[in-house]
Each structure stands twice: as C-alpha cells, then as structure tokens.
Amino acid sequence: MSKYLDKSIIELNELLKTKKITPLDLVEEAFTKIEQEKELNAFITLNKEEALKEAKELENLEVDNLLFGIPIAIKDNILTKDLRTTCASHMLENFIPIYDATVIEKIKEKHMIIIGKTNMDEFAMGSSSRTSYFGAPHNPWNKEKISGGSSGGSAVAISARLLPLALGSDTGGSIRQPASYCGIVGMKPTYGRISRYGVVAFASSLDQVGPMTRNVYENALLLNSLVGRDEKDLTSSKKEPEDFTRKIGQDICKMKIAIPNYFMSDIVTEEIRDKIKEVIQLLEQKGAIVDYVDIAYLENAVTLYQIIAMGEASSNLARFDGIRYGHSKENPKDIDDVYYGSREEGFGEEVKRRIMVGSYILSGDNAKKYYDKALSIRSDIRTSFLKTFEEYDLIIGPTTTTTAYDLTEPTDPVKTFFDDVLVIPVNMAGLPGLNIPVAFSKEQMPIGLHIIGKPFDESTIYQLASFIEKELNLNLNPKGSDEDE
Amino acid sequence: MSNYIPTIGIEVHVELKTNSKIFSSSKNGYGMGANTLTNVIDLGYPGTLPTVNEEVINIAIKAATVLHCKIRKMMHFDRKNYFYPDNSKNYQITQSRTPIGYDGYIEIELNGTKKMIEIEEIHIEEDTCKSAHRKNITLLDFNRAGVPLIEIVTKPCIASAEEAKLYIEKLRETLLYANISDCKIEEGSMRCDANVSLRKEESDPYGTKVEIKNIGSISNVKLSIEKEIIRQQKLYENHETFQEQTRRFDSKLNDTVLMRIKETGNDYRYFPEPDIPYLYLTDEQIEEVQKTIPILPDERRKLYEERKMSKVNIEKLIAHPELSDFLNQYLETSIDFQIASNLLLGDISSYLNKENKLLKETKLTKEKFTEIVEKTSNRTLTSKNIKELLTDILEKDQTISELIKEKNISNITDDHILKEIIQQVLENNPESVKDYLDGHDRALKYLMGQIMKETKGSADPLLATTILKEELSLKK
C-alpha cells in the first residue's frame, strides 16, 4: 500500500531531487493513508486543498533542503494562518487564525507541507487526549488503548506512519509521554529553544514546542529547522542555531550517565524497569559509565507542576471570553452572561477544573503560599539537576510508569497527573528531554527510554538516542516492517 | 471643619509620549479612527506574546529621577487578573511587586512654607481600551489598549485640598518639562484619583477611605476633595458610618456621587508575568537617560530670580516651556533677562498666538534676539519700533540692522534734534506751557503727546521727558 512515505527523509529527498517523485505524490499518499486510518482519529482538521495546491507549486522550485516537500502534521494548539486551529475545544471550534506562529513560518520557509492539525487534549490539558472535544485518538499498536497526551494525535500520526513529521507541544510531558505510549521519537527541547509566539499558551513558563518523528536522525533534522531567537518571544533563547545531527553516530564510550533512584522505584511497573535495566546493561557493555544517583525534590515535581501550570493556565485562558473571538453565548442577558455563558458552554470539564483550581491557587494569600513557594522549589529542582550534570553527561530513566492503558479506563483527574510523574521534572527544570522506544511489553505495547540533557545540549541526547536506536534496531511500525510493504 | 483631620493620598496615571505601544509595535496615537492602531497583541489574540518597548523603560527612569525616586535595577512585570470588556486579555500587565521607582518626593510651597509630598512608588503598566456605551450596546476601541502608562502613587501625606491641588500642579509641570507626558487631563493622558479619609486626632487610626475616581481637571481636584471632606464630616457629626467606596465628582451637582461600594478584599490574583523575563537596568543606561533631562521648573525659578526677573514674568515663562527653553540659551550671557522676558511674553507671544505658531517655526535666531534685547536695553529701539519690526524679524532671514534700514527707522536719540523739536512744540502750544507753569501736570502729558506726534513716535520717551522738563523749567 505504502509507496514512498515509509522511506527515510534522506531517501525521499534523493527521489525528489532526481525528480523520480514530486511533493504531490507524497501529499496524496499521506491523505490516502489518513483516510484509510480514519478511525485512529489522529486529525481534527485536514489541510487538503491547500496542501495539494502547495505541492503542485513546489514542483517548480529547487529542492533546496532535506525537508523540502515533506508532509508534516501540526498539533492543533499551534496557530496556522487561514487553517482552523481549535485546541480541541468547542471554544475555538470555528476559529480561523489570521497569523502564523513563528514555528509555522519556519516550516513554510523550508517548504514542508502542512497536511493537517492533530488531535490533542483540550487546550493541552490531559495526558490521554481523551479531553478532546473531537473524541480521543486511538493507539496504532492497539486501538483499544490510549495514545497518551496531550500531543496524542501527532504521536498517532507518526506511529501509524501516516506521515514522517509532526509537531507537538510539551508543558508537562505532552510530547514525550504519548511518544512513549505510541513508540516514536519525541523531543521536548530546552525551554526557550523554540519560539512560543503563536502557540496557544497553557502554562507560559513551561510550554515548549518540539519535533515528533519515526527516528532519531529525522527528529534532530526537524529540530534544526525550528530553533532560533524570535524577537516576538522574549523568553526565546539568544543561542545561535546549530546542527543537532552533528553528534549522531559518535561513540558513547566513557559517556557518563546518571539514573535517579526515584525513576527506577516501584512507581514504575516491574516490566518496564526490567526493560530499562536491559538497556543499561547494553550501555555498560558499550563502555558507558552508568550510576544510580539521588536528585532532590523529584518527588515534589508533580505537585509543583499542578500549582504553576494551573495558576498560569487560569490567567492564560481568561482571554477566551466570548467577546473578540471564539465561542460566544447566543442572546446574552448582560456582560456577565457573555462571560459565564460563553465559558460554561465553550470549555470542557477538565479545562474548567484546572481554571478553577488555578484561580484558587492565585487568590489572595494563596499566591504567596502556593505559587511563590512552588517557583522557589522549582528553582531548587533545577539546581539539583544541574548539580548532577556537573558529573554526568546525561540522565536517563523510563519515560512512563506503565504502558498505554485502555481507553475505557475511568479518568481520575488527580491520578492523570501521575501519568507524567517521570517527565514533569524536566519541564520544571527547563531541560531538554527525549523519548526513544526501547522495548515492547508482553502485550506488545511500546516502552520508552527518557533521556535528559543539560540545558541546550540536545545534541548529546541525540548522540545517545541514535546509538541505542541502532543497537536495538527495533521494528517500530505497528503494521510490520517498514520495508515489508 | 476644624475638628477633623483629613488624610489624602493621590494616584495619578499619565500616558507616556512614545512612538509605539508598550508591549506591541502598534503606533501610540490619539484621535485616530476606532481600532486603526491595533494588532493581534493589543487584541489579546491567542498565541500572542508581549515584547517590551525600551523607550517606555527609559521614560520611566526619567520620571523616577525627576520625582526623586530610588530606581529599582532588577524588576519584573506582574499580571493583574480581572474580567472587564476593556481588558483584552482579561489581565493587565503591570508592576505590582517591583515598581521601577520608589521613595520619592515632590516639593510644594503653601503660603510661603515648603512641604514634601512623599511618593510611595512609580510603576509601569499598560492602558486598557476605551469603551463607549450606546443604549444597550458597548463599543470597544482598542487604539488605547497597550498605550504605556506610569502610575504615580503618593503616601497618605496630603493634608488639604489646597495641598492636593498644588501637588498635581507641580507634578504636571515637572512631567511636562521632562517631556514624559503631555499631561492633557481633558484627553485623558493624565488621570487623577484621590483617596480621602478623616480622623479626629493625629494619633487615631485612619478613617474609612473614599476614593474619588477620574477627576477631570486640576481645579476639580481641589473642589472635589473639599466637598468630600465636608460630606464625610457631616456623616461623622451625625454619627453615621459608611463603607469604603468609590465616588466620582459631578461638576453640575458640585459634589461627589457614589459609584460603587468597594467589595472586601479585591482579589486581582497577581503573579509574576511569565512571558517577560526580569529586566536588569545598568548604571550606564540610567545615566544615559538622566543626561537627557532638561532644567526643571524649580531650578529655572532660581536661575531667573538670580537674574532679577520679576516674579510675574518667572511664572508666566515657566508656564511656556518653549519660551523658557529659548531664554535658557542666554544663561551664560549677560543680556537683561527682564527685558528679554518682556519681549518673549509680550509682542512675541502675541504674534505666536495670533499666527498659531511655535517659536521654533519662526526665523528668530539666537543672534537676532540678542540684538533686539540689547537695542531695547540701550534704547536704540522703542517698543513702538519693536512692534513695527517684529513680524519681519520673525518671518524674514534678514539681520536686525538690515530690517531697520529697510523700514527706514531712525530713532531720535540725538539730544540736539530732539531739543529743536521740543522747542518748536512749546512755541506752538503756549497755553499748555502756561498751564504747566501754573501747576497743572496734565499739560505735561499733552505736550509729550504732541512731541510723539511730531516725531511719529520715534522719540525715546525717557529722553524726551527729560528734555521737555528742562525746557519748561527755563520758561519759569
């Protein structure tokens, strides 16, 4: 069935350059696959007409970079001009942005072709994509299972090989956790690496966009095209762009790797711990030095995250008031009815819950008691990570405590946060972190390794990840081998 | 009134004169078509982020300096969360915890006694949009949304309505001079709120606070506070209690009117703005800004007094910054400041008013002005000459001497010529001479008039009077 899209980006680039295929071939194949796998519910909005038009236009242009003409999926909280952006919410069900996010401008500069907007938890609030107004996406490894979230749609699209590239966003694990559940590579870069301008804010001090791909090299390649200082985002870093693929293929002998004891404690299933231990053994065999360490405050990260993320979210989502854009209650009685009515109707349960908790957290003396305190312990978490990095190049552990669970499993709003207990500390410390699939459970569900790097040291993460990828050589196509078609 | 002590604190918002808005690149302007000076940031569009206009920070440094505040070198912004249609994000970006300036003062003079009005803090924030209510709809104009503001808050240290008025006047004058804001209360670029409470004794705790919002003019600052003090006093005298509240001044009713009772503990859920990193001011930046501050009014008053300018002229000149700035070019010279200020405030001001021009739009140069001041001092030119010449001086490039020649002005400062004319006048008016000698001083004025008529006004009046008196005394 698959003609080209299972091939690597390098192969596709060669075919495009030699005019053996055109971008239109890739775009048409992507839409065919999406149609065939419709029940995965990976997309909220398809950009069919525009994508086909763009693909045709590209035929007249020189293939000037590796990502030229490659189909890409965009998480639906990243603003795309003239293409509906819903945040998976009734509130923005009919919202057509009038500008492109900075990352979208960059993607268009490289002539990648935007295929559509992917499903997610409403306003990125959730960890199974089940809070989506448009229904949950399904895990391609087992359609009864969750995709994870909040970037569930992007993870599903890549895992099911609907297309090779996707963008996600990660506030408290929302790229890495679904990447782990779906068996793909997902990177949350260092806070500030990628501009947040045009990304609908959930928790401003934590949000970060990142690449989601089938393999490590393509992940680094996509990251290359996304980074750089943006004068429109004061929190974006002034670091010069660099080639994140440059350490790929380098030896990992003498690399110093730390594993926090907490990450391998009984909060993680035994099955996952065993698989991670196998990876550790492999690394040691190959000459890496792996030590178990203690990192202070890791166990507090989820609580701190709840305070900071919900506090900021309650303020960020205040702008959805039914006045200038988004859902607005019909025939309101007065201004209060516009506010209460539009927000009551427009937001889903989880979003409302978080706005309420967040408002409470910032109320009166609570701001000092909770929010300020959380900020201060958060900086302690960062400090304790940085201390570990004085001696180690990388920190690793499992990405998730379990594999993807059943879609029918009841949602417990508090327990949900603990799906992200291993990934949240990385957001709190503003560090880069990546998921790479390293094994499968007895149920044939993917298990991921979490690799955490020093601030702005994404390239060393890619070095280790690609080494492991090559050593393990897993088949990550849920339908069989990529080459088998 | 004597048995209650008022405590007054004043909050003033002023719009800063910047090219663009505080957190976006939209133009900062007034009087344009509704919603023409806006972009996605001003409208609080999803995904937008604020940037910080460096110009705003610099002007705020200037404001903190001229109000004698300490300047905070490490600061951040905060979000003030509240739902209101004029607030596009439903939070306002302001400075709650780290105001740029604090612990300052302004000096006022009340009946010859100087008093410091202490300034608690100056902080930077964004303005809201403007709402216009029409029957049952409200229209929103976001041109003003994101216009930079500074808020200047005094300590509760103002003791009377008169002091409040003097404070506002002095504040306005200072901000105008430092080119911080145009301070137009009618256009809303300066807005005053006053907090007023009464108590019996200095040792008593403060009484219940009433805020008078958005007072529309400086004279109303005084009036509204006076009325509010009387109103509260009556309530106390009748043993009535009242709640903390917000009122406004109604100039038709000539009294304050209730707007709303303050809800207990307004909860704005302040927290540090995560989209804007901490700002660090350097000593160099602060010094650089401070260098651009012109001489302030009080310093000018001192300089003019030293140069023997009349009090009336000093105040008039201070009220016209452009004229005062012009005159300050001569601080290092020895020209007569009284004469110079007379010229500026007299004929030159009338010309500017009539033509609706600024001084800098005329052809008056530093050299030309020096010349007319000097020629006036040594009486080469009379005030009549000035009137004759002024339009040309201000509109033409020629030098004063060229203009005098062209206008054919030859002043009779020559004793001999004048003497001859005067003798002729006396001969022609024997009646008046007789009247004068009989003790009727009126006759002197008449004779002077005849001399002026004869000389077509070009006689130096002082000289003419002297000669006339001499000639008359010879007739005794």
Q: Per residue in B47-88, pLDDT tens?
A: 999 999 999 999 999 999 999 999 999 999 999 999 999 999
Residue B289 lies in a domain: no
Average pLDDT over residues B318-333: 93
Average model confidence (pLDDT) for chain B?
91
Residue B52 lies in a domain: yes
pLDDT exceeds cutoff 90 at B15:
yes
Contacts of A204 in chain B (CB under 8 A): 274-275
Contact at CB, B269 and A359, closer than 8 angstroms: yes
- Per annotation, catalytic residue among A75, A106, A145, A247: A75
Window from A401-415, B260-274, B291-305 with minimum mean pLDDT: B260-274
Banded model confidence at residue A484, pLDDT cuts 50, 70, 90: very low
Q: Is A196 on the interface with B (CB under 8 A)?
A: yes
CA distance A448 to A17: 35
Q: Return the biggest CA–CA distance within chain B.
A: 98
Q: Which of A12, A143, A124, A3 is nearest to A65 (CA)?
A: A12
CB B276 within 8 A of CB B76: yes
CA distance to partner chain A, nearest, from residue B246 (Å): 21
* CATH code at position B431: 1.10.10.410
Task: Specify whether B272 is located in the same domain as B309.
Answer: no
Range of the domain at B215: 5-283
- Residue A368 bears catalytic tag: no
- Minimum Cα–Cα distance from A85: chain B residue: B46
CB A437 within 8 A of CB A473: no
- Residue A174 bears catalytic tag: yes
Contact at CB, A362 and B91, closer than 8 angstroms: no
Three-class secondary structure of residue A137 per DSSP: coil
How many structural domains compose chain B? 3
Window from A77-86, B155-164, B245-254 with minimum mean pLDDT: B245-254
Banded model confidence at residue B261, pLDDT cuts 50, 70, 90: confident
Contact at CB, A97 and B44, closer than 8 angstroms: no
pLDDT of residue B1: 46
Banded model confidence at residue A456, pLDDT cuts 50, 70, 90: very high
Average pLDDT over residues A175-188: 98
Residue B56 lies in a domain: yes
Contact at CB, B46 and A359, closer than 8 angstroms: no
Cross-chain CB nearest to B267 (options A311, A339, A364): A364
Contact at CB, A367 and B271, closer than 8 angstroms: yes
Q: Is A200 on the interface with B (CB under 8 A)?
A: yes
DSSP letter assigned to residue A406: B
Last residue of a domain, one of B373, B407, B441: B407
Look at B468 and A406; give whichever has higher pLDDT: A406
Residue B403 lies in a domain: yes
- Per annotation, catalytic residue among A89, A129, A132, A150: A150
pLDDT of residue B386: 85
Average pLDDT over residues B311-324: 93
pLDDT of residue B412: 57
Percentage of chain B exceeding pLDDT 70? 97
Q: DSSP alpha helices (H): ranges in B121-243?
A: 161-177, 218-237
Task: Specify whether B245 is located in the same domain as B318.
Answer: no
Q: Which of A399, A396, A439 is nearest to A421 (CA)?
A: A399
Task: Specify whether B117 is located in the same domain as B12.
Answer: yes
Average pLDDT over residues A118-134: 97
pLDDT of residue B3: 79
pLDDT of residue A2: 65
In order of A213, A296, B137, B273, B292, the CA distances from B282 in angstroms are 44, 35, 48, 22, 16
Contact at CB, A315 and B81, closer than 8 angstroms: yes
Contact at CB, B79 and A315, closer than 8 angstroms: yes
Cross-chain CB nearest to B89 (options A97, A318, A367): A318
Contacts of A364 in chain B (CB under 8 A): 265, 267
Three-class secondary structure of residue B60 per DSSP: helix
pLDDT exceeds cutoff 80 at B459:
no
Q: Residue A391's Cα: distance from chain center in Å?
A: 28
Average pLDDT over residues A261-279: 97
Look at A444 and B476; give whichever has higher pLDDT: A444
Contacts of B276 in chain A (CB under 8 A): 234-235
Task: Specify whether B257 is located in the same domain as B124.
Answer: yes
When scoring B20, B24, B42, B48 by the number of chain A Cβ atoms within 10 A, the one with the most, hence best to mutate, is B48
Token pair belonging to B88: 């596009």
Q: How many CB atoms lie within 10 A of CB A334?
A: 9
Contact at CB, B49 and A232, closer than 8 angstroms: yes
Banded model confidence at residue B264, pLDDT cuts 50, 70, 90: low
Model confidence pLDDT, tens digit, residues B417-443: 778 888 888 888 888 888 888 888 888
The most confident of B255-264, B305-314, B407-416, by mean pLDDT: B305-314
Q: Residue B1's Cα: distance from chain center in Å?
A: 32
Average pLDDT over residues A170-181: 98
CA distance B294 to B307: 19
Average pLDDT over residues B310-317: 94
Model confidence pLDDT, tens digit, residues A233-266: 999 999 998 999 999 999 999 999 999 999 999 9
DSSP letter assigned to residue B258: E
pLDDT exceeds cutoff 60 at A483:
no
Banded model confidence at residue A296, pLDDT cuts 50, 70, 90: very high
pLDDT of residue A412: 82
pLDDT exceeds cutoff 80 at B379:
no
Rounded to 5°, the CA angle B437-B439-B445 comes to: 85
CA distance B427 to A347: 105
Task: Specify whether B460 is located in the same domain as B328.
Answer: no
Token pair belonging to A445: 């569900």
Cross-chain CB nearest to B269 (options A95, A233, A362): A362
CA distance to partner chain B, nearest, from residue A386 (Å): 21
Window from A87-96, A283-292, B460-469 with minimum mean pLDDT: B460-469
Task: Specify whether B400 is located in the same domain as B431.
Answer: no
Banded model confidence at residue A485, pLDDT cuts 50, 70, 90: very low
Q: Which of B98, B58, B57 is nearest to B78 (CA)?
A: B98
Token pair belonging to B336: 């007569």
Q: Is A231 on the interface with B (CB under 8 A)?
A: yes
Average pLDDT over residues A269-288: 98
Ramachandran angles phi, psi of A412, nearest 5°: -110, 115
Average pLDDT over residues B333-345: 93
Residue B152 lies in a domain: yes
A&B contacts, CB < 8 Å: 94
Between strands B70-71 and B101-110, the pairing is antiparallel
Nearest-10 Cα torsion for A366, A367, A372, A377: 40
Contact at CB, B274 and A97, closer than 8 angstroms: no
Element (H, E) at B302: helix B297-306
CA distance B468 to B458: 15
Task: Specify whether B174 is located in the same domain as B279.
Answer: yes
pLDDT of residue B414: 62
Window from A226-235, B26-35, B263-272 with minimum mean pLDDT: B263-272
pLDDT of residue A145: 98
Q: Where are the domains of chain A?
A: 9-255+395-472, 299-376
Model confidence pLDDT, tens digit, residues A197-246: 999 999 999 999 999 999 999 999 999 999 999 999 999 999 998 999 99
Percentage of chain A exceeding pLDDT 90? 95
Q: Which of B278, B276, B213 is nearest to B79 (CA)?
A: B276
Between strands A394-398 and A446-452, the pairing is antiparallel
A425: left (phi over 0), alpha (psi -120 to 50) or beta: alpha
Q: Is A335 on the interface with B (CB under 8 A)?
A: yes
Top-level class of domain A9-255+395-472:
alpha beta
Residue-wise DSSP of A43-88: EEEE-HHHHHHHHHHHTTS---STTTT-EEEEETTB-BTTB---TT
pLDDT of residue B381: 80
pLDDT of residue B265: 62
Contacts of A191 in chain B (CB under 8 A): none
Helix axes B415-428, B442-454, angle to 10 degrees: 120
- Per annotation, catalytic residue among A129, A174, A237, A314: A174
CA distance to partner chain B, nearest, from residue A347 (Å): 15
pLDDT exceeds cutoff 60 at A191:
yes
Token pair belonging to A88: 């998976």
Q: Which regions of B127-189 does DSSP assign to beta strands (E)?
A: 130-134, 137-141, 148-154
pLDDT exceeds cutoff 80 at B2:
no
Task: Specify whether B398 is located in the same domain as B443.
Answer: no
Cross-chain CB nearest to B274 (options A205, A231, A324): A205
Last residue of a domain, one of B229, B254, B283: B283
Task: Specify whether B352 is located in the same domain as B443.
Answer: no
- Residue A466 bears catalytic tag: no
Task: Specify whether B384 is located in the same domain as B243.
Answer: no
Task: Specify whether B313 is located in the same domain as B216.
Answer: no
Task: Specify whether B236 is located in the same domain as B381.
Answer: no
pLDDT exceeds cutoff 80 at B416:
no
Q: Is A364 on the interface with B (CB under 8 A)?
A: yes
Average model confidence (pLDDT) for chain A?
96
Question: The complex's ipTM?
Answer: 0.96
Q: How many CB atoms lie within 10 A of CB A36?
A: 12
CA distance to partner chain B, nearest, from residue A363 (Å): 5
Using CB atoms within 10 A of its CB, is residue B430 exposed (0-12), middle (13-18) or buried (19+)? Answer: exposed
